[in-house]
Structure 1
């Protein structure tokens, strides 16, 4: 059996778990999304750096191709005739340091020095070559020891003749290979088997430090590539992730708060009751009322039981007060009323037989109870008498007295349940004019004792007799209690002495002589729980 505190704590705990889980999930997803986005941005920045370097160098080398076509025919022409034209090309191209003409393996003309007679292999051991070459090397003529990019174009007729163009690559590296931190820590130009790194000069081998990664892109037009070295985009994104944490925390807390609001109905007792009604988890029980004079059944009190598959049996003392707090007591009452109408044939068809239905005071507002009775009870033309039982724990003075009068004019009786336990006031006995007072089981249990409640029981009996109100004693469990109540003029008794609450379907068998309902119902044990 569940308690109200345990059930409510369970709902709050589940809501809290869901909210925390979604908040944590939102935090992880936000950080993950930021991580992926930052990593992609880092990758794009490295790629853009490489592409910019590639594009810049290609834009420098493309004009050299056209210049080579114009200069190669000059090979073999006397230097005095060719130097001026070579100087014009060198000046126009700007990045070209010098142009040299080679004939029979001899550098015989330079755009800077004019006529020369130097074996070219003394200056550059790779030359001459039958194939075009592009490679990094060291300058041995003008700025000795400085890196240069050398372009060799052989003549079509001889591998010993050709044009040599020297590009001032050291100046270019300061413009295009300067690293962009933190994405690029090092930038290297690779031509053939040589490497030129910004700030380090010409290298024969490139090493990548631990924790760093390299990215390399080759030119599609010329024989060179660019390598960048730096932190991996993922590691860099991860290192920047703490800066995203405040925003992610705010977003996750917002998601958690929205979830808390959104689950207020979905994960609440009101939702549980609505699910129970929709799934027909509730069942109407009844407890017989017997005549104190001849022990004949003169009526029943309808009781609602809830076998919740998620919580187990939930006591009416738990779910009815909670339903009242959630303004769901009226739907429960309608359910009991509709179920009772469908079982009317099991009850004695007599106007002297009373069917008692517990109703909350809030159900009387604006005649809501009358509308419900007109919808289900009155169209059934029930021969039995309906008694609406208001518990004294409700705010009875707030009951609409006009609705009470209308009900009594329709033949519906009014009973005050648990009389003497709540907001006792003799004034509303007159204003409500109840037909029945039901003595609470706590007073019945005090009979035969010296407790104050025993005296109160006598006072309630005397009061009802003085006002002409019928009495029903609840909680009769011993013959001594029954004898005392009978001797003091209480005509109707209700309690375990005569019958426990039973499903409506079991009432006919009890009425035929069985005093107790079967110990199990629908394969489940019927719990011993309070009447309400």
Structure 2
């Protein structure tokens, strides 16, 4: 059997486990979502940096093509005639450091130095070339030793003539290749087999440090690419996790609290009772009441038992009080009424046979019990007498007295169960006008052993007899107790001495075997328990 404390503790523990599990799951999902979002955001930032660098350089190189066409129009003119126009082109483009005109492999005019007469291959060994070229090199004329970007445009149908543009790559790199930490720690421009890194100049090759990754993006218009190096997006996302933890904790705790509130009913004893009713886990038992004179069965008390497959057998002393706390005692009572009516034929068809059903005081509010009797009991037209037993753990004065009067008019008897315990008051006898008092088993057990309780038992018996109220003694377990109660005028006995609570289907078999016992010297010999 389960105890109330254990059951409630189990439910609280399960609720807590569910809430903590969901909170932890929410924490993990939130951190995972933030991790994925940060990782994707980091990748997008790195890709955006690459695209911006490539696009910026393309925007610089596209006007160079137009400028080279304008400069070719000056080919054949004297340097004095062409230099002013070339300087205007340089000023207009800003990023171009110098424009040179090459004729018959001779660098003969510079926008900066004016007339010159130098073989172009001495300026740049790669020139002249029949094809347009874009390459990185070192400046040997103006700012010696600094990196430059060279753009060569040959004159059509001639590999010895062309326009050479010298671009200030360091100026471009300032807004194109400057790293954006923490996503980009290094950025390089790649043209052919040459590499330029912002802040370091030309490099023979690209090296990637351990723990870092590289991303390269090539231009679709010009023969160059941009390589960026930095921590992996996953590594950056992990490094950012501690900053996401406070928000994730708040969200997980909020979800845990909401889950605690949401499971208050579903993961509670009230939900378990409703589930037990829906799955037909409850069973109605009956315990016979026998006449103290001839030991014939004169009635039964219907008792509810619960074999919960999730918890095992749960004692009525556990689930009945909990059901009353959860306002679920009325559905349980309706179940008992329905099962009683369904099995009404197993009981003796006699108006003197009493069927007792335990009722909570709250079931009397607003005449609810009368409506349930009209719905379940009276349509079956039972011959047997119905007795509603009110337990004293309820606040009996709260019972609607109008309902009490209606029940008496309808022929339903009232009994005060466990009389002498709980909230006993003589005022109950006047306000409730009960037909029966059921002596609590604690007083029955004290017969012959406890002088004080035996005296109380005698007082209860005398009071009932004085008020002409019927008496039923509960918990009769020994022949001595039965003899004492019978000698003091208690007419109906109930207890293990005669029968233990049994399923309804076993009652007819018990009833068939409950013949009057033999007498010895004029006294009835009590029968032994059948179960």
- The TM-score range, normalised by the shorter chain, is over 0.9
Distance in 1 separating the partners of 2:59 and 2:399 = 93
For 2:237, what is the secondary structure of its paired residue?
A: helix
Task: Give the aligned partner of residue 398 of structure 1.
Answer: 398
For 1:58, what is the secondary structure of its paired residue?
A: helix
- On the 8 A contact 2:139/2:146 being kept in 1, the answer is yes
For 1:512, what is the secondary structure of its paired residue?
A: helix
Distance in 2 separating the partners of 1:382 and 1:236 = 80
RMSD (Å) for aligned C-alpha atoms:
1.6
Q: Are positions 1:221 and 2:214 aligned together?
A: no
Distance in 1 separating the partners of 2:48 and 2:450 = 97
Question: How big is the shift at 1:76?
Answer: 4.6
Task: Give the aligned partner of residue 498 of structure 2.
Answer: 498
Instruction: Kindly provide the CA deviation profile for residues 496-518 of structure 1, in whole angstroms up to 9, marking residues without a partner as x.
Output: 11111111111111111169xxx
Distance in 2 separating the partners of 1:199 and 1:514 = 109
For 1:508, what is the secondary structure of its paired residue?
A: helix
Task: Give the aligned partner of residue 307 of structure 1.
Answer: 307
Q: How many residues align structurally? A: 515
Task: Give the aligned partner of residue 192 of structure 2.
Answer: 192
- On the 8 A contact 2:292/2:482 being kept in 1, the answer is yes
Equivalent runs, 1:41-190 vs 2, <5 Å: 41-72=41-72, 74-190=74-190
Task: Give the aligned partner of residue 236 of structure 1.
Answer: 236
Task: Give the aligned partner of residue 254 of structure 1.
Answer: 254
Task: Give the aligned partner of residue 29 of structure 1.
Answer: 29
For 1:382, what is the secondary structure of its paired residue?
A: coil
Question: How big is the shift at 1:235?
Answer: 1.7
Question: How big is the shift at 1:356?
Answer: 0.2
Question: How big is the shift at 1:377?
Answer: 0.7
Distance in 2 separating the partners of 1:95 and 1:174 = 12
TM-score with structure 1 length normalisation?
0.94
Instruction: Kindly provide the CA deviation profile for residues 339-380 of structure 1, in whole angstroms up to 9, marking residues without a partner as x.
Output: 101111111111000000000111111211111111111111
Q: Are positions 1:18 and 2:18 aligned together?
A: yes
Question: How big is the shift at 1:424?
Answer: 1.7
Task: Give the aligned partner of residue 338 of structure 2.
Answer: 338
TM-score with structure 2 length normalisation?
0.94
Deviates more, 1:100-109 or 1:332-341: 100-109
For 1:112, what is the secondary structure of its paired residue?
A: coil
Question: How big is the shift at 1:78?
Answer: 4.0
Equivalent runs, 1:407-422 vs 2, <5 Å: 407-422=407-422
Question: How big is the shift at 1:9?
Answer: 0.2
For 2:199, what is the secondary structure of its paired residue?
A: coil
For 2:99, what is the secondary structure of its paired residue?
A: strand
Distance in 1 separating the partners of 2:87 and 2:457 = 128
For 2:221, what is the secondary structure of its paired residue?
A: coil
Distance in 2 separating the partners of 1:305 and 1:422 = 23
Q: Are positions 1:288 and 2:292 aligned together?
A: no
For 1:305, what is the secondary structure of its paired residue?
A: strand
For 1:286, what is the secondary structure of its paired residue?
A: strand
Question: How big is the shift at 1:79?
Answer: 3.3
Q: Are positions 1:389 and 2:389 aligned together?
A: yes
Task: Give the aligned partner of residue 528 of structure 1.
Answer: none
Instruction: Kindly provide the CA deviation profile for residues 139-192 of structure 1, in whole angstroms up to 9, marking residues without a partner as x.
Output: 111111111100112233232332211111111112222222222222211111
Distance in 2 separating the partners of 1:186 and 1:514 = 100
Question: How big is the shift at 1:56?
Answer: 1.3
For 1:348, what is the secondary structure of its paired residue?
A: coil
For 1:463, what is the secondary structure of its paired residue?
A: helix
Change (3 A) 1:462 1:318: same
Equivalent runs, 1:506-525 vs 2, <5 Å: 506-513=506-513
Distance in 1 separating the partners of 2:122 and 2:350 = 132
Structure 2: 5+ residue runs without aligned partners? Answer: 516-531
Task: Give the aligned partner of residue 453 of structure 2.
Answer: 453
Instruction: Kindly provide the CA deviation profile for residues 461-512 of structure 1, in whole angstroms up to 9, marking residues without a partner as x.
Output: 1111111111111111122221221111111111111111111111111111
Distance in 2 separating the partners of 1:14 and 1:269 = 12
Distance in 1 separating the partners of 2:425 and 2:337 = 29
Distance in 1 separating the partners of 2:197 and 2:294 = 114
Distance in 1 separating the partners of 2:222 and 2:393 = 95
Distance in 2 separating the partners of 1:392 and 1:91 = 106
Question: How big is the shift at 1:327?
Answer: 0.7
- On the 8 A contact 2:302/2:358 being kept in 1, the answer is yes
Question: How big is the shift at 1:83?
Answer: 3.2
Instruction: Kindly provide the CA deviation profile for residues 240-276 of structure 1, in whole angstroms up to 9, marking residues without a partner as x.
Output: 2222222221111111111110000000000100111
Task: Give the aligned partner of residue 325 of structure 1.
Answer: 325
Task: Give the aligned partner of residue 529 of structure 2.
Answer: none
Distance in 2 separating the partners of 1:312 and 1:423 = 32
- On the 8 A contact 2:296/2:514 being kept in 1, the answer is no
Question: How big is the shift at 1:46?
Answer: 1.8
Question: How big is the shift at 1:51?
Answer: 1.5
Task: Give the aligned partner of residue 436 of structure 1.
Answer: 436
Distance in 2 separating the partners of 1:187 and 1:341 = 89
Deviates more, 1:1-10 or 1:175-184: 175-184
Change (3 A) 1:463 1:448: same
Task: Give the aligned partner of residue 527 of structure 1.
Answer: none
For 2:240, what is the secondary structure of its paired residue?
A: helix
Structure 1: 5+ residue runs without aligned partners? Answer: 516-532
Question: How big is the shift at 1:73?
Answer: 5.2
Distance in 2 separating the partners of 1:277 and 1:390 = 22
For 1:187, what is the secondary structure of its paired residue?
A: strand
Distance in 1 separating the partners of 2:90 and 2:428 = 116
Query: Which consecutive aligned stretches of 4+ in structure 1 deviate over 6 angstroms post-superposition?
Result: none
- On the 8 A contact 2:471/2:491 being kept in 1, the answer is yes
Distance in 2 separating the partners of 1:49 and 1:451 = 97
